[in-house]
């Protein structure tokens, strides 16, 4: 979606700025340098079966048959604008005369738009959506959700270009557009909410981002650093959009990382954006990588970022048996114990807590309940991992502990523990268990 759009739009701005340099300028905002949307001959458009739908911030031309969903798209767009403005710190005064021109083209019939020269010059073969300057184009989609998603995705590019002067490197540009494209629309109250975490597949038909990550992460661990290299000057595939979304969603939602992430929007025109990104997270870089791997290994609809956030408390070497309490309603928790590679430890667990399924609380012990499974293991079973990204029992690839086990870690690191449950279903669990970690007697 609009890989070329962004690049071309930036080029267009640059060229325009040069051409205009001898003229007096309006206050130095990116918007002042943006070319105006093309003029549409409305009479000819109407004659060719193209309707005009007008909102406050969007004028949408379309040859898609009238329906409540299509006809309200400008109103949906209007609801997105204050949400973009708040996130990007754009005051209401700046929005006053801002309007975008969009074209929603029936996937079956683009000819009327071609005949009237209402296609993006040089990018006529765009696959789904594209934006150039203050204009965007979309093809109609079989899913209402996904059609809005594409509009909001392109709208994010246009908004950022208009008020921030750029969209940042490929991963950030497409990631933020996917972050804002992913939304909830309440049919009953006609309310739009952007930057949501979808709670089920049925809520977001054709979106598929979670599925793509889950399919892919089984085969290959995608380091966060690899996502930063995604280059949208070439058309991206669906899985790359999914990675960009997963990264921005993680950074924008995580309680420890989100403030820094949101500040990065001030650097979207900086050529060294990625260096600034690395700099911003320098103090937590290794932890963030380990947490990223754990995140993509467990990503699911309704992922609870608050409860899954890991408090990386560094462990101390074990001199005598240590007892730790592990909450059933959180993700990975530090045991406070550092395990040494090659040494053998005994971990035993006791306690009774609640693991809920479909609102029904089930009593559970560290061995888990075998009437239900999550990720191939008994629900509620105690799991263990070392906070190393390298080998052995990593946070992304934990081991079973259950009621007790011995462990001889392949890498040294702090032992982390959690009970086995969906990252979307921690909030209805209750209680704690007690794990005892001791040097194994040989
Ligand atoms: Zn895009």
Distance separating alpha carbons of residues 223 and 114, to the nearest angstrom: 42
Q: What is the pLDDT of residue 32?
A: 67
Q: For 36, list phi and psi in degrees, rounded to 5.
A: -70, 150
**Full-model pTM:** 0.90
Q: Which residue has the tokens 């309707």?
A: 51
- What separation, in Å, do the N-terminal and C-terminal C-alpha atoms of the chain show? 60
Asked if pLDDT for residue 332 goes beyond 70, the answer is yes
Q: Among 50-64, 84-98, 118-132, 417-431, name the one with the lowest average pLDDT.
A: 118-132
d(CA 160, CA 256): 25
Q: Is 14 helix (H, G, I), strand (E, B) or coil?
A: helix
Ligand 1: centre distance to CA 175 (Å) = 8
Q: How far apart are CA 372 and CA 265, in angstroms?
A: 44
Distance from residue 234's CA to the centre of ligand 1 (Å): 11
Task: Enumerate the domain spans of the chain.
Answer: 3-167, 202-303, 308-439
Least Cα distance to 402 among 439, 370, 354 occurs for 370
Segment 180-200, tens digit of pLDDT = 999 999 999 999 999 999 999
Classify 293 as helix, strand or coil: helix
Task: Compute the distance from residue 132 Cα to the ligand 1 centre, in Å.
Answer: 11
Local confidence band at 6 (pLDDT 50, 70, 90 cut-offs): very low
CATH superfamily ID and name for 308-439: Galactose-binding lectin (2.60.120.430)
| Gap from CA of 137 to ligand 1 centroid (Å) | 11
Selection from 427, 172, 430, 416 nearest residue 294 by Cα: 416
User: DSSP of 127-159, one letter per residue?
Assistant: SSEEEETTEEEEE--S-HHHHHHHHHHHHHHHH
For residues 140-154, average pLDDT:
97
Distance 61 CA to ligand 1 centre (A): 20
Neighbours of 269 (CB within 10 A): 13
Q: State the pLDDT at residue 217.
A: 61
Share of the chain above pLDDT 90, in %: 76
Sign of the dihedral through C-alpha 150, 155, 158, 161 = negative
Residues of the chain above pLDDT 70, percent: 91
Check whether 218 has a pLDDT greater than 70: no
E strand or H helix at 15: helix 3-19
Is domain 3-167 given the CATH code 3.40.30.160 in the classification? yes
Residue 5 Cα to ligand 1 middle (Å): 8
Query: Is the pLDDT assigned to residue 359 strictly greater than 90?
Result: no
Residue 285 tokens read as 């870089």
Question: φ and ψ at 253, to 5 degrees?
Answer: -105, -25
Cα(290) to centroid(ligand 1), Å? 28
Go through the chain and tell me how many residues it has. 442
**Region 26-54 average pLDDT:** 84
Give the mean pLDDT of 276-302.
94
Q: 173 CA to middle of ligand 1, Å?
A: 7
């Amino acid at each position: 979606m609009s890989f070329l759009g962004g690049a071309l739009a930036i080029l267009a701005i640059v060229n325009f700025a040069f051409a205009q340099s001898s003229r007096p300028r309006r206050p130095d905002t990116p918007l002042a340098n943006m070319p105006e949307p093309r003029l549409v001959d409305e009479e000819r458009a109407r004659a060719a079966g193209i309707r005009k739908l007008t909102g406050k911030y969007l004028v949408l031309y379309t040859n898609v048959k009238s329906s409540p969903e299509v006809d309200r798209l400008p109103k949906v767009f209007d609801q997105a604008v204050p949400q973009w403005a708040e996130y990007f710190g754009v005051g209401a005064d700046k929005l006053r005369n801002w309007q975008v021109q969009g074209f929603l083209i029936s996937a079956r019939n683009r000819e009327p738009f071609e005949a009237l020269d209402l296609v993006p010059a040089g990018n006529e073969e765009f696959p789904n959506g594209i934006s150039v300057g203050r204009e965007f184009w979309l093809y109609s989609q079989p899913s209402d959700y996904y059609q809005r998603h594409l509009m909001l995705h392109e709208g994010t590019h246009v908004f950022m270009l208009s008020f921030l002067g750029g969209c940042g490197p490929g991963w950030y540009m497409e990631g933020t557009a996917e972050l804002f494209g992913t939304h909830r629309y309440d049919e009953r109250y006609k309310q739009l909410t952007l930057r949501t975490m979808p709670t089920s597949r049925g809520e977001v038909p054709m979106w598929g981002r979670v599925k793509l990550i889950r399919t892919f992460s089984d085969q290959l661990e995608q380091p966060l650093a690899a996502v930063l290299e995604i280059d949208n000057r070439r058309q991206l595939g669906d899985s790359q959009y999914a990675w960009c979304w997963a990264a921005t969603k993680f950074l924008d939602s995580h309680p420890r990382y989100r403030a820094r992430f949101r500040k990065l929007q001030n650097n979207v025109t900086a050529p060294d954006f990625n260096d600034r990104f690395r700099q911003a997270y320098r103090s937590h870089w290794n932890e963030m990588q380990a947490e990223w791997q754990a995140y993509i290994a467990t990503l699911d609809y309704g992922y609870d970022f608050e409860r899954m956030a890991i408090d990386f408390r560094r462990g101390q070497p074990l001199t005598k048996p240590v007892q730790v309490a592990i909450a059933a309603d959180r993700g990975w928790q530090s045991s406070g114990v550092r395990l040494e590679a090659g040494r053998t430890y005994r971990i035993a667990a006791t306690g009774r807590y609640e693991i809920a399924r479909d609102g029904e609380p089930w009593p559970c012990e560290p061995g888990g309940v075998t009437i239900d499974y999550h990720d191939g293991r008994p629900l509620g079973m105690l799991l263990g991992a070392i906070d190393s990204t390298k080998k052995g029992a990593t946070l992304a690839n934990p081991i079973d502990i259950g009621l007790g086990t011995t462990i001889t870690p392949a890498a040294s690191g702090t032992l982390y523990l959690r009970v086995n449950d969906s990252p979307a279903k921690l909030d209805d669990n209750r209680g704690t268990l007690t794990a005892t970690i001791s040097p194994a007697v040989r």
